[in-house]
């Protein structure tokens, strides 16, 4: 693989010699950087970096050199929560929402996740892969280098497996780093309404064993919220998953104080996600844990829901990650630059906190913080080169347009 030197970098952002796996509280406002810098990539890894006056001492013989005068280099974004494998868009429901129906009302009428599940039955693995590849291309152009993708629009064993086969194929075809999450408990199929324990039995006895034995997922998710799965359902599913080595990452407290955060912490979840309904008890439970609180600004924005108390969480000493939740129902965008802007505009994170939330902390939330999320020698060479921009603050400030010019994944321009 050819070696690559990026030189004359206006600012090399998030240089960490001995990075922690996540940043909490006040640490989130630190964004160590080098001005007038260079970065050397070799064998798909970050091999070295420094400042321009030291470049000749480094004795590098790059196969290729990129001049980054006026531009910044950052770790590529990690998007730790998406549903970007799906059969079809759902813009009609979105119009219903504008007219005043709530997310729960739409779900009760067989819309929402169940609508996607119906369409899933008429979609092949190849079709899922093709449409998801287009979405991966789109998010890559906006600077995402790693993405977690969930099943959850199948809701029976055959259809859930189909989604996971599609994700496995994407891992093979895409230069992005991909992690798969099994989300059989995303919604209760209509025929199990009123007897949802029976559906939970199927998730536990039928789906989890085959997902695990075929090695189709790293993580297991449950939508633990009002109108969806209860804390008891969630406990049963997480216990069954853990027996097979599936680590929990759960949808929690989006619609109510559901107990989802506490049950996630209890079962060692890598992350609990959404968190619109987070109070003092939830914060206290997270403070004694290794679970990454993950906020999904796109979903709250798109559904016009209350915003999670991110500021309060960070001020209490918690880490926070942010991700897109890219999905056809509640967040039809996978643009992490927009998440950076929302993080600062809607949630009052400083630009430094926002960048940490979308890189190192999001990497942690998908089990990748040892290999991604900072500019560190030995980490995977997933970096972005911006267009010419005046400051780091400009990234969230100049919202809506693409400030990324070049994306490098595994040491190669893609």
Q: Which class for 28: exposed (0-12), middle (13-18), buried (19 or more C-beta within 10 A)?
A: buried
> What is the CB neighbour count within 10 angstroms for residue 288?
8
DSSP 192: G
Q: Which segment (11-19, 168-176, 197-205, 327-335) binds ligand NIG by CB under 6 A? A: 327-335
24 binds ligand NIG (CB under 6 A): no
Closest separation between CB of residue 342 and Fe ion, Å?
Answer: 16
How many whole angstroms separate alpha carbon 295 and alpha carbon 362? 10
Residue 324 near residue 333 (C-beta atoms within 8 A): yes
Could you give the C-alpha distances from 73 to 9, 13, 35, 104, 399, in angstroms and in order? Answer: 7, 6, 10, 42, 18
301 binds ligand NIG (CB under 6 A): no
Q: Which segment (112-120, 347-355, 357-365, 384-392) binds ligand NIG by CB under 6 A? A: 112-120
Closest separation between CB of residue 186 and Fe ion, Å?
Answer: 8
Q: Which class for 240: exposed (0-12), middle (13-18), buried (19 or more C-beta within 10 A)?
A: buried
Residue 254 near residue 274 (C-beta atoms within 8 A): yes
**Helix axes of 157-173 and 125-141: crossing angle, nearest 10 degrees:** 50
Residue 208 near residue 244 (C-beta atoms within 8 A): yes
How many whole angstroms separate alpha carbon 162 and alpha carbon 241? 19
# of chain residues touching Fe ion (CB under 5 A): 1
123 binds ligand NIG (CB under 6 A): no
- Chosen residue from 24, 174, 258, 327 binding ligand NIG by CB under 6 A: 327
Residue 332 binds which of Fe ion, ligand NIG, none (CB < 5-8 A, kind-dependent): none
Closest separation between CB of residue 249 and ligand NIG, Å?
Answer: 12
- Chosen residue from 299, 360, 389, 409 binding ligand NIG by CB under 6 A: 299
113 binds ligand NIG (CB under 6 A): yes
- Chosen residue from 325, 334, 335, 364 binding Fe ion by CB under 5 A: 325
Return the residues of window 66-105 that contact ligand NIG according to CB under 6 A: 83
- Closest residue (Cβ) to Fe ion? 325
Handedness of CA 235, 238, 242, 243 (dihedral sign): positive
Alpha carbon 349 to chain centroid, angstroms: 18
Residues in the chain, overall count: 414
User: Which structure tokens are listed for 232?
Assistant: 């008891």
- Closest residue (Cβ) to ligand NIG? 329
Please say which residue, 66 or 85, places its beta carbon nearer to ligand NIG.
85
- Chosen residue from 16, 148, 160, 325 binding ligand NIG by CB under 6 A: 325
- Chosen residue from 19, 329, 367, 411 binding ligand NIG by CB under 6 A: 329
Q: With H, G, I as helix, E, B as strand and everything else as coil, classify residue 135.
A: helix
- Chosen residue from 19, 75, 87, 112 binding ligand NIG by CB under 6 A: 112
Residue 116 binds which of Fe ion, ligand NIG, none (CB < 5-8 A, kind-dependent): ligand NIG
Q: Which DSSP string do the residues of 4-34 spell out, in sequence order?
A: EEEEEEEEEE-B-SS--S---GGGGG---EE
Q: Which segment (141-149, 257-265, 321-329, 391-399) binds ligand NIG by CB under 6 A? A: 321-329
Specify the pairing of strand 45-51 against strand 33-42.
antiparallel
Handedness of CA 297, 300, 112, 197 (dihedral sign): positive
Q: Which segment (12-20, 53-61, 264-272, 322-330) binds ligand NIG by CB under 6 A? A: 322-330
Residue 330 binds which of ligand NIG, Fe ion, none (CB < 5-8 A, kind-dependent): ligand NIG
Return the residues of window 237-266 that contact Fe ion according to CB under 5 A: none
User: Which structure tokens are listed for 364?
Assistant: 């942690």
328 binds ligand NIG (CB under 6 A): yes
Residue 112 binds which of Fe ion, ligand NIG, none (CB < 5-8 A, kind-dependent): ligand NIG
- Chosen residue from 15, 33, 80, 116 binding ligand NIG by CB under 6 A: 116
Please say which residue, 154 or 351, places its beta carbon nearer to ligand NIG.
154
Could you give the C-alpha distances from 45 to 8, 184, 383, 408, in angstroms and in order? Answer: 20, 35, 10, 11
Q: Which residues bind Fe ion (CB under 5 A)?
A: 325
Q: Which residues bind ligand NIG (CB under 6 A)?
A: 83, 112-113, 116, 223, 251, 254, 299, 325, 327-330
């Amino acid at each position: 693989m050819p070696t690559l030197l990026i030189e004359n970098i206006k600012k090399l952002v998030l240089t960490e010699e001995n990075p922690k796996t996540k940043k909490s509280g006040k640490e989130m406002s630190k964004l160590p950087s080098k001005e007038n810098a260079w970065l050397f990539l070799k064998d798909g890894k970050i091999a070295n970096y420094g400042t321009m006056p030291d470049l000749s001492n480094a004795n590098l013989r790059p196969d290729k050199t990129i001049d980054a005068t006026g531009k910044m280099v950052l770790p590529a974004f990690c998007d730790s929560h998406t549903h970007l494998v799906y059969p079809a868009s759902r813009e009609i429901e979105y119009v219903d929402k504008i007219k005043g129906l709530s997310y729960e009302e739409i779900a009760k009428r067989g819309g929402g996740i169940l609508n996607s599940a119906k369409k899933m039955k008429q979609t092949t693995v190849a079709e899922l892969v093709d449409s998801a590849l287009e979405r991966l291309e789109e998010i890559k152009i906006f600077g995402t280098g790693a993405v977690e993708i969930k099943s959850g629009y199948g809701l029976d064993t055959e259809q859930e497996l189909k989604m996971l086969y599609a994700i496995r194929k994407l891992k093979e075809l895409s230069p992005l780093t991909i992690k798969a999450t099994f989300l059989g408990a995303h919604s209760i199929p209509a025929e199990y309404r009123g007897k949802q324990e029976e559906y939970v039995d199927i998730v536990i006895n039928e789906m989890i064993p085959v997902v695990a034995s075929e090695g189709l997922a790293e993580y297991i998710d449950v939508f633990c919220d009002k109108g969806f799965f209860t804390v008891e359902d969630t406990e049963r599913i997480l216990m069954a998953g853990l027996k097979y080595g599936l680590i929990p990452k759960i949808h929690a407290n989006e619609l109510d104080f559901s107990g989802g955060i506490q049950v996630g912490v209890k079962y060692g979840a890598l992350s609990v996600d959404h968190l619109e309904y987070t109070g003092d008890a939830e914060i206290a439970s997270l403070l004694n844990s290794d679970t990454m609180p993950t906020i999904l600004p796109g979903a709250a924005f798109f559904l016009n829901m209350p915003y999670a108390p991110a500021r309060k969480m960070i001020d209490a000493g918690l880490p926070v990650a942010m991700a897109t939740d890219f999905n056809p129902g509640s967040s039809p965008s996978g643009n992490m630059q927009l998440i950076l802007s929302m993080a600062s505009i809607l949630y009052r994170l400083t630009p430094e906190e926002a960048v940490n939330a979308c890189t190192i902390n999001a990497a942690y939330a998908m089990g990748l913080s040892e290999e991604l999320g900072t500019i560190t020698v030995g980490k995977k060479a997933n970096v972005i080169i911006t267009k010419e921009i005046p400051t780091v603050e400009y990234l969230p400030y100049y919202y809506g347009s693409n400030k990324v010019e070049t994306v490098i994944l595994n040491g190669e321009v893609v």
